[in-house]
Chains A and B, each alone.
Chain A
């Protein structure tokens, strides 16, 4: 008598084999009738009572899905065979090999009706082209070599570099710290239970500023300054500032939470906020 574990292992193997066979038929355009649907269904039925964990149930569902695809292919196969276009590929291949080239062309010419297409210049397009040509500058003028301009070498001030966005006004860590303080302040003023609705915190007067705030918030969460509280059923996200930066968070395996901050979402929030 097989143990339960042994039967489960055997069952998984059988289901995986069925999936592989179905995939081969689907991908390589093999005859779908090579798969015995009834036999496979019986096997799936036989092992179904053994499955208790979600992974096994998923495997069971996947097997059914692949068998359904094969049944669909069988349907298409029957449909194709019943049409006038059906001819056995093997017979056709043999016949084409035996036919001389001239005969193939002769046969094809009877079923070939080439598309007629003209390519001809009109007086109108010719006039347009002449006008364009007249206005076109000579190539020596269009592709003039631009002499390198002399640039005075000098020193740029820190302010100038900040203005040109080469340097930042504050170090990133300083900026993050000050944004953390802003979050805490916002929670105290507008939040509830020590947290604030994501959009109420991130949302700003302009879309650019909103994106910037969303960007900074993502770093607050990654570096342990804040946590995200997600309520999937209500589709609500809250930002909760930590009292102290949680250093352990960044060492744990992180989970990415994509949050779309589209212009439409921002407009919707802005209308709602007003």
Chain B
């Protein structure tokens, strides 16, 4: 193995450890942390890692600070971004049940996220509770919203407005969700 290859192999291992194992309260690693641990060419290491992960249906996901997808990010934007390993493809509904969620809790999450997206990223907790109460028992509605907040899918401010939080930004393809829901509507009507 050439010296260069050996260096990259070692960096790849280090990157795997950093990205797979939770180091802080939240999973994922900030760009500046990766730069510190892997060197200034960390984006190259992540690219190699992403290629490796493709075969396992996983990917390295970059979430920029201002939530937008940036085609050519600057070094500063990359430093502030958070990197995660996420599923590349899709879960089948049967598999979705296996990740520790009850089907109605997951449907509640999907409903909440899509509703907040349609309300320009914020909605009052009461509106969301009313919407969920249509299909979930009353006592469960508030508990579920608290759970979505605890997991990092939602966040709530002091005036009880709900917003999408870091986990939704990392895990949910928001435009795809909206597209799919609109398509479903066409199919239904």
Interface residues of A (CB under 8 A from B): 27-29, 76-77, 80, 84-89, 91-93, 95-99, 101-120
Give the docked Cα–Cα distance between A106 and B99 (Å): 14
A174 to B58, CA, bound (A): 78
Nearest CB of chain B from residue A158's CB, rounded to whole Å:
52
Q: Assuming A29-B161, A107-B177, what are 5 further A-B pairs, CB within 8 angstroms? A: A29-B124, A86-B118, A89-B115, A108-B107, A116-B20
By beta carbon, the residue of chain B nearest A108 is B110
Q: How many A-B residue pairs have CB under 8 A?
A: 143
Does B110 contact A105, Cβ atoms closer than 8 Å? Answer: yes
B181 touches A95 (CB 8 A): yes
B185 touches A112 (CB 8 A): no
Residue of A89, A92, A114 near B86 (CB, 8 A) is: A114
B184 interfacial by beta-carbon distance below 8 Å: yes
Q: Which residue of A lies closest to B91 (CB)?
A: A109
Mark interface residues in B79-121 (1 if CB within 8 Å of A CB, else 0): 0000011111111110110010001101101110111011110
Partner of A95, one of B123, B170, B188: B188
Q: What separation, in Å, do the CA atoms of A96 and B182 have in the docked complex?
A: 10
Cβ of B93 and Cβ of A112 under 8 Å apart?
Answer: no
Task: For B21, give its contact among A85, A93, A115, A120 (CB under 8 Å).
Answer: A120
Closest Cβ–Cβ distance, residue B188 to chain A (whole Å): 7
Chain A CB within 8 A of B15 CB: no
Q: Are A84 and B86 within 8 A (Cβ)?
A: no
A198 to B175 Cα, complex, angstroms:
62
Complex: A120 Cα to B87 Cα, angstroms: 19
Q: Is the interface of A mostly helix, strand, loop or mixed?
A: helix
Residues of B contacting A103 in the complex (Cβ-Cβ under 8 angstroms): 184
In chain A, what residue has the closest Cβ to B136? A101
Give A73's nearest chain B residue, CB to CB. B120
Compute how far the CA of A107 lies from the CA of B106 in the bound complex, rounded to whole angstroms: 11
> Mind listing 14 A-B residue pairs with CB under 8 Å?
A27-B159, A76-B120, A84-B175, A85-B175, A89-B119, A93-B131, A105-B106, A111-B180, A113-B61, A113-B86, A113-B88, A115-B27, A116-B20, A116-B85
CB distance from A95 to the nearest CB of B (A): 5
- Any chain A CB within 8 A of the CB of B179? yes
Given contacts A29-B122, A88-B118, A113-B87, contact A102 B93 (CB under 8 A): yes
Q: Give residues 145-189 of B contacting A (CB, 8 Å).
A: 159, 161, 167, 170-182, 184-185, 188
Per the bound structure, the CA–CA distance linking A112 and B114 in Å amounts to: 12
